[in-house]
Structure 1
Amino acid sequence: MMANYDELTHISAAIEVQELSKEKLKKKTALDYFSLAVTTFGVGYLPLAPGTYGSAVGVLIYLIFASIEGRASFYSSQNNWTDAQITAWIHAVNLILFLLFCLLGIWAANRAVKIFQNKDPQQAVVDEVIGQLITFLFVPFGLSWRFVFAGFILFRLFDIWKPYPIDSLQNLPAGIGVCADDILAGVYAGTCLALIYAVRISF
Protein backbone atom coordinates (compact mmCIF):
# COMPACT_ATOMS: atom_id res chain seq x y z
CA MET A 1 0.00 0.00 0.00
CA MET A 2 2.85 2.36 0.87
CA ALA A 3 4.42 1.81 -2.58
CA ASN A 4 1.12 2.61 -4.29
CA TYR A 5 0.76 5.75 -2.17
CA ASP A 6 4.27 6.91 -3.14
CA GLU A 7 3.55 6.28 -6.82
CA LEU A 8 0.34 8.28 -6.62
CA THR A 9 2.21 11.10 -4.88
CA HIS A 10 4.84 11.21 -7.65
CA ILE A 11 2.16 11.14 -10.36
CA SER A 12 0.24 13.94 -8.65
CA ALA A 13 3.42 16.03 -8.34
CA ALA A 14 4.23 15.47 -12.02
CA ILE A 15 0.73 16.57 -13.05
CA GLU A 16 1.05 19.73 -10.93
CA VAL A 17 4.38 20.56 -12.60
CA GLN A 18 2.81 20.09 -16.06
CA GLU A 19 -0.12 22.33 -15.14
CA LEU A 20 2.23 25.02 -13.82
CA SER A 21 4.24 24.81 -17.05
CA LYS A 22 1.07 25.24 -19.11
CA GLU A 23 0.05 28.26 -17.05
CA LYS A 24 3.50 29.76 -17.50
CA LEU A 25 3.27 29.30 -21.27
CA LYS A 26 -0.12 31.02 -21.34
CA LYS A 27 1.27 34.11 -19.59
CA LYS A 28 3.12 35.95 -22.34
CA THR A 29 5.07 39.13 -21.74
CA ALA A 30 5.25 42.18 -24.00
CA LEU A 31 8.58 40.87 -25.32
CA ASP A 32 6.90 37.56 -26.16
CA TYR A 33 4.24 39.33 -28.21
CA PHE A 34 6.89 41.47 -29.92
CA SER A 35 8.96 38.38 -30.78
CA LEU A 36 5.85 36.65 -32.17
CA ALA A 37 5.13 39.69 -34.34
CA VAL A 38 8.70 39.62 -35.67
CA THR A 39 8.78 35.87 -36.27
CA THR A 40 5.34 35.55 -37.89
CA PHE A 41 5.04 38.90 -39.74
CA GLY A 42 1.28 38.38 -39.59
CA VAL A 43 1.41 35.57 -42.17
CA GLY A 44 2.84 32.73 -40.10
CA TYR A 45 -0.62 31.64 -39.01
CA LEU A 46 -2.01 31.45 -42.55
CA PRO A 47 -2.77 27.91 -43.79
CA LEU A 48 -1.07 25.77 -46.45
CA ALA A 49 2.29 27.45 -47.11
CA PRO A 50 3.47 29.91 -44.43
CA GLY A 51 7.07 29.63 -45.68
CA THR A 52 6.05 30.88 -49.12
CA TYR A 53 4.13 33.75 -47.54
CA GLY A 54 7.24 34.60 -45.51
CA SER A 55 9.32 34.71 -48.69
CA ALA A 56 6.71 37.00 -50.26
CA VAL A 57 7.10 39.34 -47.27
CA GLY A 58 10.86 39.32 -47.93
CA VAL A 59 10.25 40.32 -51.56
CA LEU A 60 7.91 43.12 -50.44
CA ILE A 61 10.52 44.46 -47.99
CA TYR A 62 13.14 44.35 -50.76
CA LEU A 63 10.89 46.30 -53.15
CA ILE A 64 10.19 48.95 -50.49
CA PHE A 65 13.88 49.39 -49.75
CA ALA A 66 14.73 49.41 -53.46
CA SER A 67 12.24 52.25 -53.98
CA ILE A 68 13.61 54.24 -51.03
CA GLU A 69 17.22 53.74 -52.09
CA GLY A 70 16.37 54.62 -55.68
CA ARG A 71 15.10 58.00 -54.51
CA ALA A 72 18.08 58.46 -52.17
CA SER A 73 20.40 57.70 -55.07
CA PHE A 74 18.66 60.32 -57.23
CA TYR A 75 18.93 63.03 -54.56
CA SER A 76 22.57 62.13 -53.91
CA SER A 77 23.40 62.47 -57.59
CA GLN A 78 21.83 65.93 -57.53
CA ASN A 79 24.34 66.85 -54.80
CA ASN A 80 27.33 65.89 -56.94
CA TRP A 81 27.92 62.44 -55.43
CA THR A 82 29.74 60.06 -57.75
CA ASP A 83 28.24 56.70 -58.73
CA ALA A 84 30.97 54.95 -56.73
CA GLN A 85 30.09 56.92 -53.58
CA ILE A 86 26.37 56.24 -53.96
CA THR A 87 26.94 52.50 -54.57
CA ALA A 88 29.33 52.20 -51.61
CA TRP A 89 26.88 53.85 -49.22
CA ILE A 90 23.94 51.81 -50.46
CA HIS A 91 25.87 48.57 -49.92
CA ALA A 92 27.06 49.68 -46.48
CA VAL A 93 23.57 50.69 -45.33
CA ASN A 94 22.06 47.48 -46.72
CA LEU A 95 24.58 45.29 -44.90
CA ILE A 96 24.19 47.15 -41.59
CA LEU A 97 20.38 46.98 -41.74
CA PHE A 98 20.47 43.34 -42.76
CA LEU A 99 22.86 42.41 -39.94
CA LEU A 100 20.63 44.14 -37.38
CA PHE A 101 17.55 42.44 -38.81
CA CYS A 102 19.33 39.06 -38.75
CA LEU A 103 20.22 39.44 -35.08
CA LEU A 104 16.67 40.56 -34.27
CA GLY A 105 15.25 37.60 -36.21
CA ILE A 106 17.44 35.04 -34.43
CA TRP A 107 16.55 36.54 -31.05
CA ALA A 108 12.82 36.49 -31.88
CA ALA A 109 13.01 32.95 -33.27
CA ASN A 110 14.73 31.83 -30.09
CA ARG A 111 11.81 33.12 -28.01
CA ALA A 112 9.30 31.60 -30.46
CA VAL A 113 10.90 28.17 -30.01
CA LYS A 114 10.24 28.42 -26.27
CA ILE A 115 6.72 29.79 -26.70
CA PHE A 116 5.60 27.12 -29.18
CA GLN A 117 7.67 24.36 -27.52
CA ASN A 118 8.89 23.36 -30.98
CA LYS A 119 12.46 23.54 -32.31
CA ASP A 120 11.21 24.85 -35.69
CA PRO A 121 7.66 26.21 -35.31
CA GLN A 122 5.74 26.44 -38.57
CA GLN A 123 4.37 29.83 -37.57
CA ALA A 124 7.87 31.35 -37.52
CA VAL A 125 8.59 32.75 -40.98
CA VAL A 126 11.26 35.30 -40.09
CA ASP A 127 13.83 32.77 -41.34
CA GLU A 128 12.23 32.83 -44.81
CA VAL A 129 12.17 36.63 -44.76
CA ILE A 130 15.88 36.73 -43.89
CA GLY A 131 16.80 34.13 -46.50
CA GLN A 132 14.83 35.90 -49.21
CA LEU A 133 16.52 39.22 -48.43
CA ILE A 134 19.95 37.55 -48.57
CA THR A 135 19.14 36.36 -52.08
CA PHE A 136 18.91 39.96 -53.29
CA LEU A 137 22.13 41.11 -51.57
CA PHE A 138 24.14 39.44 -54.34
CA VAL A 139 22.83 41.65 -57.15
CA PRO A 140 22.40 45.42 -57.69
CA PHE A 141 19.30 47.05 -56.25
CA GLY A 142 16.55 48.13 -58.62
CA LEU A 143 16.18 44.83 -60.47
CA SER A 144 13.46 44.31 -63.05
CA TRP A 145 10.44 42.28 -61.98
CA ARG A 146 11.79 39.27 -63.90
CA PHE A 147 14.90 39.09 -61.72
CA VAL A 148 12.87 39.71 -58.56
CA PHE A 149 10.58 36.82 -59.50
CA ALA A 150 13.60 34.65 -60.36
CA GLY A 151 15.11 35.42 -56.94
CA PHE A 152 11.86 34.43 -55.26
CA ILE A 153 11.66 31.11 -57.15
CA LEU A 154 15.35 30.31 -56.58
CA PHE A 155 15.09 30.86 -52.84
CA ARG A 156 11.94 28.76 -52.53
CA LEU A 157 13.68 26.01 -54.53
CA PHE A 158 16.74 25.88 -52.26
CA ASP A 159 14.65 26.31 -49.10
CA ILE A 160 12.50 23.28 -50.00
CA TRP A 161 15.25 21.17 -51.61
CA LYS A 162 17.80 21.88 -48.85
CA PRO A 163 20.99 20.60 -50.54
CA TYR A 164 24.03 19.85 -48.38
CA PRO A 165 24.70 21.19 -45.81
CA ILE A 166 21.48 23.20 -45.50
CA ASP A 167 19.43 20.38 -44.00
CA SER A 168 21.96 19.64 -41.25
CA LEU A 169 21.94 23.28 -40.09
CA GLN A 170 18.41 22.78 -38.74
CA ASN A 171 19.98 20.73 -35.93
CA LEU A 172 21.66 23.82 -34.49
CA PRO A 173 20.08 25.03 -31.24
CA ALA A 174 17.02 27.27 -30.91
CA GLY A 175 16.81 30.48 -32.98
CA ILE A 176 20.11 29.85 -34.77
CA GLY A 177 18.80 26.49 -35.97
CA VAL A 178 15.57 28.09 -37.17
CA CYS A 179 17.39 30.72 -39.27
CA ALA A 180 20.72 29.13 -40.29
CA ASP A 181 19.36 26.80 -42.98
CA ASP A 182 17.41 29.62 -44.64
CA ILE A 183 20.44 31.91 -44.49
CA LEU A 184 22.50 29.36 -46.43
CA ALA A 185 19.59 28.72 -48.82
CA GLY A 186 19.62 32.47 -49.48
CA VAL A 187 23.36 32.35 -50.20
CA TYR A 188 22.84 29.52 -52.70
CA ALA A 189 19.91 31.30 -54.33
CA GLY A 190 21.76 34.63 -54.40
CA THR A 191 24.80 33.02 -56.05
CA CYS A 192 22.60 31.53 -58.78
CA LEU A 193 20.77 34.84 -59.25
CA ALA A 194 24.09 36.70 -59.54
CA LEU A 195 25.25 34.28 -62.25
CA ILE A 196 21.98 34.68 -64.16
CA TYR A 197 22.24 38.47 -63.86
CA ALA A 198 25.87 38.48 -65.04
CA VAL A 199 25.05 36.33 -68.06
CA ARG A 200 21.99 38.42 -68.91
CA ILE A 201 23.79 41.78 -68.92
CA SER A 202 26.73 40.33 -70.87
CA PHE A 203 24.74 39.39 -73.95
Structure 2
Amino acid sequence: MDSPTDPVVPAKTPPSLFIRLVASALFTGYSPLASGTVASALALLVYLIPGFENPYVMMTAMMAAFIAGTYVGDRMEAYYGPDPAEVTIDEVLGMWFSLFLLPKDPVLFISGFFIFRILDIVKPYPARKFDRMRGGFGIMMDDVVVAFYTNLILHAVAAVRVFAGL
Protein backbone atom coordinates (compact mmCIF):
# COMPACT_ATOMS: atom_id res chain seq x y z
CA MET A 1 0.00 0.00 0.00
CA ASP A 2 1.35 3.42 -0.92
CA SER A 3 1.72 5.96 1.83
CA PRO A 4 1.38 9.74 1.39
CA THR A 5 5.17 10.02 1.69
CA ASP A 6 5.81 7.38 -0.97
CA PRO A 7 7.54 9.13 -3.91
CA VAL A 8 5.29 7.26 -6.37
CA VAL A 9 2.17 9.00 -5.04
CA PRO A 10 1.95 12.60 -6.27
CA ALA A 11 1.35 15.15 -3.53
CA LYS A 12 -1.62 17.45 -3.84
CA THR A 13 -0.36 20.83 -4.94
CA PRO A 14 -2.17 23.72 -3.29
CA PRO A 15 -3.83 26.18 -5.65
CA SER A 16 -1.76 29.25 -6.53
CA LEU A 17 -2.24 32.49 -4.64
CA PHE A 18 -4.01 33.96 -7.68
CA ILE A 19 -6.45 31.01 -7.88
CA ARG A 20 -7.20 31.38 -4.16
CA LEU A 21 -7.61 35.17 -4.52
CA VAL A 22 -10.16 34.80 -7.32
CA ALA A 23 -11.96 31.74 -5.91
CA SER A 24 -12.30 33.29 -2.47
CA ALA A 25 -13.44 36.68 -3.79
CA LEU A 26 -10.47 38.64 -2.44
CA PHE A 27 -9.98 36.13 0.40
CA THR A 28 -13.50 36.56 1.85
CA GLY A 29 -13.72 32.76 1.64
CA TYR A 30 -11.17 32.53 4.43
CA SER A 31 -13.35 34.53 6.83
CA PRO A 32 -13.70 32.49 10.04
CA LEU A 33 -17.43 33.28 10.25
CA ALA A 34 -20.03 33.25 7.47
CA SER A 35 -17.67 33.49 4.51
CA GLY A 36 -20.59 33.42 2.05
CA THR A 37 -22.25 36.34 3.79
CA VAL A 38 -18.97 38.30 3.82
CA ALA A 39 -18.53 37.67 0.07
CA SER A 40 -22.15 38.68 -0.59
CA ALA A 41 -21.55 41.92 1.33
CA LEU A 42 -18.44 42.57 -0.78
CA ALA A 43 -20.49 41.99 -3.95
CA LEU A 44 -23.12 44.43 -2.69
CA LEU A 45 -20.44 47.06 -2.04
CA VAL A 46 -19.19 46.64 -5.61
CA TYR A 47 -22.78 46.92 -6.87
CA LEU A 48 -23.08 50.25 -5.05
CA ILE A 49 -20.22 51.75 -7.10
CA PRO A 50 -21.86 54.36 -9.35
CA GLY A 51 -22.47 52.94 -12.82
CA PHE A 52 -22.07 49.27 -11.86
CA GLU A 53 -25.84 48.75 -12.21
CA ASN A 54 -25.51 49.41 -15.97
CA PRO A 55 -26.71 46.17 -17.61
CA TYR A 56 -23.65 45.98 -19.88
CA VAL A 57 -21.28 46.41 -16.96
CA MET A 58 -23.15 43.85 -14.85
CA MET A 59 -23.41 41.30 -17.68
CA THR A 60 -19.69 41.58 -18.35
CA ALA A 61 -18.87 41.22 -14.65
CA MET A 62 -21.27 38.29 -14.22
CA MET A 63 -19.95 36.42 -17.27
CA ALA A 64 -16.36 36.97 -16.10
CA ALA A 65 -17.27 35.78 -12.59
CA PHE A 66 -19.03 32.67 -13.95
CA ILE A 67 -16.22 31.68 -16.29
CA ALA A 68 -13.48 32.41 -13.74
CA GLY A 69 -15.51 30.81 -10.93
CA THR A 70 -16.02 27.60 -12.88
CA TYR A 71 -12.29 27.37 -13.61
CA VAL A 72 -11.01 28.23 -10.13
CA GLY A 73 -13.79 26.20 -8.50
CA ASP A 74 -12.44 23.08 -10.23
CA ARG A 75 -8.93 23.79 -8.94
CA MET A 76 -10.05 24.57 -5.40
CA GLU A 77 -12.27 21.50 -5.21
CA ALA A 78 -9.40 19.29 -6.36
CA TYR A 79 -7.39 20.45 -3.35
CA TYR A 80 -9.98 21.19 -0.63
CA GLY A 81 -12.69 18.66 -1.53
CA PRO A 82 -16.31 19.10 -2.65
CA ASP A 83 -17.81 22.62 -2.63
CA PRO A 84 -15.17 24.14 -0.34
CA ALA A 85 -16.25 27.00 1.95
CA GLU A 86 -13.19 28.91 0.75
CA VAL A 87 -14.82 29.35 -2.68
CA THR A 88 -17.03 32.42 -2.45
CA ILE A 89 -16.90 33.81 -5.99
CA ASP A 90 -20.24 32.02 -6.46
CA GLU A 91 -21.79 34.29 -3.82
CA VAL A 92 -20.45 37.34 -5.63
CA LEU A 93 -22.00 36.21 -8.91
CA GLY A 94 -25.22 35.30 -7.11
CA MET A 95 -25.52 38.66 -5.42
CA TRP A 96 -24.95 40.52 -8.68
CA PHE A 97 -27.45 38.36 -10.56
CA SER A 98 -29.98 38.90 -7.73
CA LEU A 99 -29.82 42.66 -8.36
CA PHE A 100 -29.62 42.54 -12.16
CA LEU A 101 -31.96 44.93 -14.05
CA LEU A 102 -33.33 46.44 -10.85
CA PRO A 103 -33.29 50.08 -9.78
CA LYS A 104 -30.60 50.95 -7.25
CA ASP A 105 -33.10 51.23 -4.41
CA PRO A 106 -31.99 50.57 -0.81
CA VAL A 107 -35.18 48.61 -0.10
CA LEU A 108 -34.40 46.31 -3.02
CA PHE A 109 -30.68 45.81 -2.52
CA ILE A 110 -30.95 45.31 1.24
CA SER A 111 -33.91 42.93 0.81
CA GLY A 112 -32.02 41.21 -1.99
CA PHE A 113 -29.03 40.63 0.25
CA PHE A 114 -31.13 38.87 2.90
CA ILE A 115 -33.36 36.97 0.46
CA PHE A 116 -30.32 35.71 -1.45
CA ARG A 117 -28.54 34.58 1.72
CA ILE A 118 -31.65 32.77 3.04
CA LEU A 119 -32.33 31.04 -0.27
CA ASP A 120 -28.65 30.14 -0.61
CA ILE A 121 -28.87 28.34 2.73
CA VAL A 122 -32.25 26.68 2.00
CA LYS A 123 -31.32 25.83 -1.63
CA PRO A 124 -34.77 25.36 -3.23
CA TYR A 125 -35.12 23.04 -6.22
CA PRO A 126 -33.14 22.75 -8.48
CA ALA A 127 -30.36 24.59 -6.60
CA ARG A 128 -29.82 21.60 -4.31
CA LYS A 129 -29.28 19.35 -7.35
CA PHE A 130 -26.52 21.66 -8.60
CA ASP A 131 -25.08 21.90 -5.09
CA ARG A 132 -24.53 18.13 -5.19
CA MET A 133 -22.65 18.31 -8.50
CA ARG A 134 -18.88 18.07 -8.46
CA GLY A 135 -16.68 20.76 -9.93
CA GLY A 136 -16.73 24.47 -10.54
CA PHE A 137 -19.88 24.36 -12.68
CA GLY A 138 -21.94 22.92 -9.83
CA ILE A 139 -20.38 25.35 -7.35
CA MET A 140 -21.45 28.29 -9.52
CA MET A 141 -24.84 27.03 -10.71
CA ASP A 142 -26.53 26.49 -7.36
CA ASP A 143 -25.99 30.19 -6.65
CA VAL A 144 -27.19 31.16 -10.14
CA VAL A 145 -30.47 29.31 -9.50
CA VAL A 146 -30.90 30.92 -6.09
CA ALA A 147 -30.06 34.33 -7.59
CA PHE A 148 -32.66 33.80 -10.32
CA TYR A 149 -35.33 33.18 -7.65
CA THR A 150 -34.13 36.20 -5.68
CA ASN A 151 -34.22 38.37 -8.81
CA LEU A 152 -37.80 37.31 -9.57
CA ILE A 153 -38.89 38.11 -6.01
CA LEU A 154 -37.18 41.51 -6.14
CA HIS A 155 -38.78 42.36 -9.50
CA ALA A 156 -42.18 41.55 -7.97
CA VAL A 157 -41.38 43.76 -4.97
CA ALA A 158 -40.25 46.58 -7.30
CA ALA A 159 -43.47 46.30 -9.33
CA VAL A 160 -45.63 46.42 -6.20
CA ARG A 161 -43.70 49.46 -4.98
CA VAL A 162 -44.27 51.24 -8.31
CA PHE A 163 -47.98 50.43 -8.43
CA ALA A 164 -48.43 51.36 -4.76
CA GLY A 165 -46.55 54.61 -5.29
CA LEU A 166 -43.85 53.76 -2.75
Shorter-chain TM-score tier:
0.7 to 0.9
Partner Cα separation in structure 2 for residue 69 and residue 167 of structure 1? 30
TM-score by length of 1: 0.73
Aligned match of 1:36? 20
Structure 1: 5+ residue stretches without partners: 1-10, 71-89
Partner Cα separation in structure 1 for residue 100 and residue 145 of structure 2? 13
Q: Which amino acid aligns with 1:191?
A: L
1:127/1:178 contact within 8 Å kept: yes
Structure with the larger helix share? 1
RMSD: 2.0
TM-score by length of 2: 0.88
Aligned-pair identity in percent equals 28
Runs (4 or more) in structure 1 with deviation over 2 Å come to 13-22, 90-94
1:37-186 superposed matches below 5 A? 37-40=21-24, 41-64=26-49, 67-69=50-52, 90-116=54-80, 118-140=81-103, 143-186=104-147
Q: Deviations over 1:141-187 (max 9, x none)?
A: xx222221101011011101111111011122310111110111000
Structure 2: 5+ residue stretches without partners: none
Change (3 A) 1:69 1:182: closer
Q: Which amino acid aligns with 1:21?
A: P
Partner Cα separation in structure 2 for residue 127 and residue 104 of structure 1? 10
